[in-house]
Amino acid sequence: MKLFIPGPVSVSNEIMQSMQREMIGHRGKEFANIFEECSKGLKKVFCTNNRVLISTSSGTGLMEGAIRNCVEKNVLMIECGAFGKKWVQVAKACGKEVDVLQVQKGNAVSKEELEKKLSEKKYEAVCVTHNETSTGVENPLKEIAPLIKEHNALFLVDSVSSMGGAKIEVDEWGIDVCLTSSQKCFSLPPGLSFASVSEGALEKSRTIKDKGYYFDFVELAKEYDSHQTPYTPAVGLIFGLITQLERMLKEGMENVWARHEELAKQTQEWAIKNEMKLFAQSGHRSKTVTCISNEKRINLEEVKKKVKEKGYVMDAGYRKLNEELLASGRADTMRIPHMGNLNSKELQEYLDCLEEAMK
Ligand SMILES: Cc1ncc(COP(=O)(O)O)c(C=O)c1O
- Cα four-point dihedral sign 181, 90, 195, 287: positive
Ligand 1 within 6 A of 182 CB? no
What single-letter amino acid sits at 316? A
Asked if residue 308 and residue 236 are part of one domain, the reply reads no
Mean pLDDT of the chain: 97
pTM: 0.98
Asked if residue 102 and residue 64 are part of one domain, the reply reads yes
Asked if residue 202 and residue 191 are part of one domain, the reply reads yes
Q: What is the pLDDT of residue 351?
A: 98
Report pLDDT digits (tens) over 230-247. 999 999 999 999 999 999
Q: How crowded is residue 99: how many other Cβ atoms within 10 Å of its Cβ?
A: 15
CATH of the domain at 294: 3.90.1150.10
Ligand 1 within 6 A of 267 CB? no
Q: Which of 128, 133, 141, 168 is the best mutation target for the ligand 1 pocket, counting ligand atoms within 8 Å of the beta carbon and taking the most? A: 133
Q: What is the pLDDT of residue 157?
A: 99
Q: Give the residue-averaged pLDDT of 52-69.
A: 98
Single out the residue in 251, 270, 301 at which a domain terminates: 251
The Å distance, Cα 207 to ligand 1 centre, comes to 28
- Count of domains forming the chain: 2
Label residues 19-33 b or e (16+ Cβ within 10 Å = b): beeeeeebeeeebee
Measured in whole angstroms, the distance separating CA 95 from the mean position of its chain's CA atoms is: 24
The ligand 1 atom nearest the CA atom of 190: 10
Ligand 1 within 6 A of 59 CB? yes
Asked if residue 65 and residue 100 are part of one domain, the reply reads yes
Domain membership of residue 8 (yes or no) is no
Ligand 1 within 6 A of 86 CB? yes
Domain membership of residue 29 (yes or no) is yes
Domain membership of residue 122 (yes or no) is yes
Sheet with strand 193-197: strands edge to edge: 51-55, 193-197, 177-181, 154-158, 125-129, 74-79, 97-102
Please, which pLDDT band fits residue 252 given cuts at 50, 70 and 90? Answer: very high
Single out the residue in 251, 274, 299 at which a domain terminates: 251
Closest CA to 103 of 63, 144, 155: 144
Domain membership of residue 6 (yes or no) is no
Q: What is the pLDDT of residue 348?
A: 98
Asked if residue 276 and residue 244 are part of one domain, the reply reads no
Q: How far apart are CA 156 and CA 84, in angstroms?
A: 12
Domain membership of residue 5 (yes or no) is no
Ligand 1 within 6 A of 133 CB? yes
Q: How far apart are CA 333 and CA 316, in angstroms?
A: 7
Q: What is the pLDDT of residue 77?
A: 98
Please, which pLDDT band fits residue 249 given cuts at 50, 70 and 90? Answer: very high
3-state secondary structure (DSSP) of residue 97: strand
The Å distance, Cα 28 to ligand 1 centre, comes to 32
Domain membership of residue 346 (yes or no) is yes
CATH of the domain at 79: 3.40.640.10
What single-letter amino acid sits at 211? K
Asked if residue 262 and residue 239 are part of one domain, the reply reads no
Asked if residue 164 and residue 301 are part of one domain, the reply reads no
Asked if residue 224 and residue 116 are part of one domain, the reply reads yes
Report pLDDT digits (tens) over 332-354. 999 999 999 999 999 999 999 99
Q: Which of 161, 168, 287 is the best mutation target for the ligand 1 pocket, counting ligand atoms within 8 Å of the beta carbon and taking the most? A: 161
Q: Which of 56, 86, 88, 186 is the best mutation target for the ligand 1 pocket, counting ligand atoms within 8 Å of the beta carbon and taking the most? A: 86
Report pLDDT digits (tens) over 146-169. 999 999 999 999 999 999 999 999
Which domain range does residue 37 map to?
A: 13-251
Q: Which residues are CB-neighbours of 232 under 8 A, at least 6 positions away?
A: 26, 56
Asked if residue 27 and residue 116 are part of one domain, the reply reads yes
Single out the residue in 229, 251, 273 at which a domain terminates: 251
Please, which pLDDT band fits residue 259 given cuts at 50, 70 and 90? Answer: very high
SS (H, E, C) 186-249: CCCCCCCEEEEECHHHHHHHHHCCCCCCCCCHHHHHHHHCCCCCCCCCCHHHHHHHHHHHHHHH
Q: How far apart are CA 39 and CA 194, in angstroms?
A: 10
CA angle (220 as vertex; 215, 222 as ends), nearest 5 = 150
Asked if residue 340 and residue 207 are part of one domain, the reply reads no
Q: Which of 128, 131, 158 is the best mutation target for the ligand 1 pocket, counting ligand atoms within 8 Å of the beta carbon and taking the most? A: 158
Please, which pLDDT band fits residue 12 given cuts at 50, 70 and 90? Answer: very high
Asked if residue 144 and residue 281 are part of one domain, the reply reads no
Ligand 1 within 6 A of 134 CB? no
Q: What is the pLDDT of residue 143?
A: 98
Ligand 1 within 6 A of 160 CB? yes
Domain membership of residue 42 (yes or no) is yes
Report pLDDT digits (tens) over 278-290. 999 999 999 999 9
Ligand 1 within 6 A of 229 CB? no
Report pLDDT digits (tens) over 36-46. 999 999 999 99
User: In the chain, pLDDT over 70 holds for what percent of residues?
Assistant: 100
Q: What is the pLDDT of residue 39?
A: 98
Q: How far apart are CA 352 and CA 226, in angstroms?
A: 49
Report pLDDT digits (tens) over 91-144. 999 999 999 999 999 999 999 999 999 999 999 999 999 999 999 999 999 999
Ligand 1 within 6 A of 129 CB? yes
Asked if residue 334 and residue 243 are part of one domain, the reply reads no
Q: Which residues are CB-neighbours of 21 under 8 A, at least 6 positions away?
A: 236, 239
The Å distance, Cα 161 to ligand 1 centre, comes to 7
What single-letter amino acid sits at 244? Q
Domain membership of residue 133 (yes or no) is yes
Ligand 1 within 6 A of 318 CB? no
